[in-house]
Amino acid sequence: MIKESKKSPGLTLAINACGSAAELARRLSVERQAVYQWKSIPLGRVVDVEQATGIPREQLRPDLYTREASQ
């Protein structure tokens, strides 16, 4: 498990759903170092992470998405 204080709750949730940051990176076809550098999921990757993990975007980035806006 990663340190909660350095990563956003949504990113932590996504990494935990995959089992590791390396597995999330593999599912996204990016280098694992890219995921390790993220503090939160980049706007351009939210939909990809949603598809890779099954976690709704409003949980991954609640600062950008609300349940009403994504329906």
For 21-60, what is each residue's pLDDT tens digit?
999 999 999 999 999 999 999 999 999 999 999 999 999 9
More confident residue, 69 or 38: 38
Domains of the chain, each with CATH number or no CATH: 9-60 (1.10.260.40)
Sign of CA dihedral 36, 38, 40, 43: negative
The pTM (predicted TM-score) of the whole model is 0.84
